[in-house]
Amino acid sequence: MTRHFIDVDDLNREELGTVLDRAAEYKRQRREGIPHPDLERRTLGMVFEKPSSRTRISFETGMTQLGGHAIFLGPEDIGLGDREPLSDTARVLSGYVDAAMVRLFDHGDLETLAANATVPVVNGLTDDAHPCQTLADLLTIREAFGGFEGLSVTWVGDANNVARSFALGCALCGIDLTVATPEGYALDDAHIERAGELGPTPETTHDPAEAVAGADVVYTDVWISMGQEEERDERLAAFEDFQVNEGLLEHSPEARVMHCLPAHRGEEITDAVLESDRSMVFEQAENRMHAQKGLLSFLLE
């Protein structure tokens, strides 16, 4: 049966551990200059509706390092859903490539592609979920702390697509997660329940200082995501007290800091924090490539 990666919980806890182990090994080999062409002569089709820097570069470079090849298909190349039904696109792609990574707006379009594809489909981001980012996040946390046992992580800001996938990943790994948001921007009940079925149920609060107290990791993301520009003034007012800055981090002096990038410096996070010794942000960005290599190897073995 074809395995897809639509969200983090398409992997069970053991499979997630396998993907992270492979990612760590690929990272070691890359840094030591050891070739690892495990996907030689394999091709990844990359379908983009949304612009990207990290997603395209990390997948394309990762496939090259694995001995394979990646093809970029932008909005003008494929005309997703315009030139032919999504189901036809999925079937045609399946005849050409060994796997497809898609970065779309509508999560339902992703599900349609996966339902009709006979090769693995990987979610490179939708408005609902960003599971590849979560793989990188978990790899980064595991590297920093040597594992997941006993860890406490706090998400501060908007419970967006990154936060939703991250909540599922934390639950799978047994991490205690607290999500601090303004009212109206909280993690939805469906994802809280879904995470609770996998592991520890995320705690929610509207008090960022309370949430950060005692945390091992503090994670934030932009307050204004792509497509939300018209809400800018409203969101800036709502999130005013949720900036990750030196004052907030006084409530957890040893906490490490994460951000999935791109960062709006001076909004959700300050330069001082992002560039501090506590920041794991750029290791986290590099780990996108290693985590995705582990995933592709797992799906295509």
Q: Is 130 annotated as a binding residue?
A: yes
- Give the C-alpha separation, 192 to 206, whole Å: 15
- Is 133 one of the annotated active-site residues of the chain? yes
Please say if 260 is a catalytic residue: yes
**Residue in 210, 172, 168, 174 with CA at minimum distance from that of residue 192:** 168
* Nearby residues of 181 by Cβ (< 8 Å), 6 or more positions away: 157, 158, 159, 187, 204, 206, 242
**Is 173 known as a binding-site position?**
no
Q: Is 53 annotated as a binding residue?
A: yes
Q: Please tell me whether 287 is known to bind a ligand.
A: no
Residue 191 bears catalytic tag: no
Active site residue 103: yes
Catalytic residue, from 42, 288, 290, 292: name it. Answer: 288
Q: Which of 221, 256, 278, 284 is catalytic?
A: 221
Q: Is 54 known to sit in a ligand binding site?
A: yes
**Catalytic residue, candidates 30, 42, 56, 103:** 103
CB 161 within 8 A of CB 185: no
Residue 226 in marked binding region: yes
Bridge partners of residue 156, in order along the sequence: 180, 220
Q: Any known ligand binding at 279?
A: no
Question: Exposed, middle or buried: residue 276 (CB in 10 Å: 0-12, 13-18, 19+)?
Answer: middle
The response to whether 260 counts as a known ligand-binding position is yes
Instruction: Name the active-site residue from 4, 158, 260, 278.
Output: 260
Phi, psi values for residue 233, rounded to 5°: -65, -45
Q: Please say if 4 is a catalytic residue.
A: no
4 labelled as ligand-binding? no
Q: What are phi and psi of 121, to 5 degrees?
A: -110, 130
Token output for 276? 């501090």
Q: Is 232 annotated as a binding residue?
A: no
Residue 161 annotated as lining a ligand binding site: yes
Candidate list 130, 191, 235, 259, residue with the active-site label: 130
Which of 243, 200, 249, 207 is closest to 222 using CA atoms? 243
Cβ-based neighbour number of residue 283 at 10 Å = 14
C-beta separation of 223 from 157 below 8 A: yes
CA quadruple 254, 138, 136, 78: dihedral sign: negative
- Three-state secondary-structure class, residue 219: strand
User: Of the residues 9, 109, 128, 133, which is catalytic?
Assistant: 133
58 assigned binding-site residue: no
Q: Which residues are annotated binding-site positions?
A: 52-55, 103, 130-133, 161, 221, 225-226, 260-261, 288
Catalytic site positions:
103, 130, 133, 221, 260, 288
Question: Residues annotated in the binding site for L-ornithine, as ranges?
Answer: 161, 221, 225-226
Known binding residues for carbamoyl phosphate are: 52-55, 103, 130-133, 260-261, 288
